[in-house]
């Protein structure tokens, strides 16, 4: 039993995968909270697709793999999308519609750019969609540094971002929105490169929804979000190791089960207390 529990964690790749998930969880739980409250769930998919388009343009333009130039092209496409989301806001059309448009057009453009180059498609996938089991420690370090800076900025701006999210902002909404989406774009671009779209999307949405369901204060929600993400990463990686399955899907399913389970327990507990 002890071996069964400890064996996965004797491998460095498992420990780095967990470190990577926790680094991501730290900032995604916070951003996810705003994304869910704003009802713009698929904004990260749109951003990721824009970043992939940027990566595709980089590959076709002959930029070297994995260089700062490649990353800059990719990130600037995602930043363009964030500017768009900050500027375009209509009372008649829900933001989700703009997100859907960006997603569709960016996907189509990626196909056109790579039309004659499925090998390019492989390269973009390889550059842009990481796998959590093989993530390089140096990249985790860089990402952790970047996310600490972004986290600091978000912490300072939290009251203003929250005001916009809750729809009670007065002046400077566009600037705050742009900063929010820009940090979001940088985070999503880096995270997808580390662990892939599916896991990033799930780390954004599931812990935030779980936290909103079981808790009512802002600070506690962040704690719950980290708790869900951390426990699901730990259990999911452990299960993936013993079942020998690709890690990301297993973590996502575990996250879903954790949130569903916590919600049920919370309902049952509240019902018990009110009786």
Partner 1 sequence: MPTFRRPAFSPGSAFAAWFAVLLALVTSALAPARVEADGLRILAATNDIGALARAVGGDAIDVDVVARPDRDPHALEIRPSTMRRATKADLYLAAGLSLDLWSDDIVRGSRNRELVVVVCGELIDPLEIPDGPIDASMGDVHPEGNPHWWLDPIRAVTVARSLAVEFAAADPAGAETYAANADHFASEVVQRMSAWTGALRGRIFVEQHASWIYLAERFDMVIAGKVEPLPGIPPTARHLAELAEVIQDHEVSVVIRDRYHVESGARFLRRKTGVRIEVLPASCDAPTPEAYFSHFDRIVEVLGAP
User: In sequence order, which residues have a C-beta less than 8 Å from that of residue 265 and are 6 or more positions away?
Assistant: none
Q: Does 131 bind partner 1 (CB under 8 A)?
A: yes
Which residue's CB is nearer to partner 1, number 40 or number 251? 251
Tell me which of 133, 150, 185, 255 binds partner 1, using CB under 8 A: 133
CA–CA separation, 195 and 42 (whole Å): 17
Asked whether 179 and 154 are in contact (CB, 8 A), the reply is no
Among 3, 10, 91, 170, binds partner 1 (CB under 8 A): 10
Q: Which residues of 152-161 are buried (b: 16+ CB within 10 A; e: fewer)?
A: eebeeeeebb
Of the two residues 3 and 91, which places its CB atom closer to partner 1 in the complex? 3
H or E stretch covering 216: none
For partner 1, which residue of 39, 87, 88, 122 counts as binding (CB under 8 A)?
122
Query: Smaller CB distance to partner 1: residue 23 or 46?
Result: 23
**Residues 259/228, Cβ–Cβ less than 8 Å:** yes
Pick one of 115, 145, 153, 158: the residue that binds partner 1 (CB under 8 A): 115
Residue from 57, 185, 209, 240 touching partner 1 (CB under 8 A): that is 240
| 89 binds partner 1, rule: CB under 8 A | no
CA-wise closest residue to 86 among 29, 43, 30, 53: 43
According to CB under 8 A, which one of 153, 245, 257, 260 is a site residue for partner 1? 245
Q: Are 188 and 47 in contact (CB under 8 A)?
A: yes
110 burial type by CB count under 10 A (0-12 exposed, 13-18 middle, 19+ buried): buried
Residue 273 engages partner 1 in binding (rule: CB under 8 A): yes
The only residue of 2, 5, 8, 156 in contact with partner 1, by rule CB under 8 A:
8
Interface characters, 137-166, with partner 1 (x: CB under 8 A): x-----------------------------
Which of the ranges 76-84, 158-166, 202-210, 238-246 carries the binding residues for partner 1, by CB under 8 A? 238-246
DSSP conformation class of 93: S
CA distances for 87 relative to 14, 40, 93, 103, 179, angstroms: 42, 15, 13, 17, 12
**Nearer to partner 1 among residue 166 and residue 218 (C-beta):** 218
CA distances from 72 to 67, 77, 93, 208, 239 (A): 9, 9, 32, 29, 36
Q: Verify binding: residue 58, partner 1, rule CB under 8 A.
A: no
Site of interaction with partner 1 (CB under 8 A): 8-16, 18-19, 22-23, 25-26, 60, 114-120, 122-123, 125-126, 131, 133-137, 215, 218-220, 222-224, 226-227, 230, 240-241, 244-247, 269, 272-273, 275
């Amino acid at each position: 039993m002890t071996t069964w529990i400890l064996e996965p964690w004797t491998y460095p790749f498992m420990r780095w995968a967990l470190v990577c998930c926790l680094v991501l969880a730290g900032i995604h739980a916070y951003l996810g909270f705003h994304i869910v409250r704003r009802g713009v769930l698929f904004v990260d998919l749109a951003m990721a697709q824009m970043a992939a388009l940027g990566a595709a343009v980089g590959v076709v333009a002959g930029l070297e793999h994995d260089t700062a130039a490649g990353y800059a092209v990719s990130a600037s496409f995602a930043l363009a999308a964030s500017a768009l989301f900050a500027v375009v806001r209509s009372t008649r059309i829900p933001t989700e519609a703009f997100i859907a448009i960006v997603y569709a057009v960016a996907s189509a453009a990626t196909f056109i750019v790579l039309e004659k180059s499925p090998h390019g498609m492989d390269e973009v996938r390889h550059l842009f969609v990481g796998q959590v089991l093989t993530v390089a420690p140096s990249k985790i370090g860089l990402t952790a540094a970047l996310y600490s800076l972004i986290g600091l900025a978000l912490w300072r701006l939290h009251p203003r971002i929250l005001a916009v999210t809750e729809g009670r902002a007065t002046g400077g909404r566009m600037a705050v929105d742009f900063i929010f989406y820009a940090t979001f774009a940088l985070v999503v671009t880096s995270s997808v490169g580390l662990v892939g779209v599916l896991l990033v999307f799930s780390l954004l949405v599931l812990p935030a929804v779980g936290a909103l369901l079981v808790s009512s204060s802002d600070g506690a929600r962040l704690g719950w979000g980290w708790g869900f993400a951390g426990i699901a990463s730990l259990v999911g990686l452990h299960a993936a190791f013993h079942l020998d399955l690709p890690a990301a899907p297993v973590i996502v399913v575990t996250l879903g089960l954790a949130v569903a389970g916590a919600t049920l327990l919370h309902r049952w507990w509240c019902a018990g207390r009110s009786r």
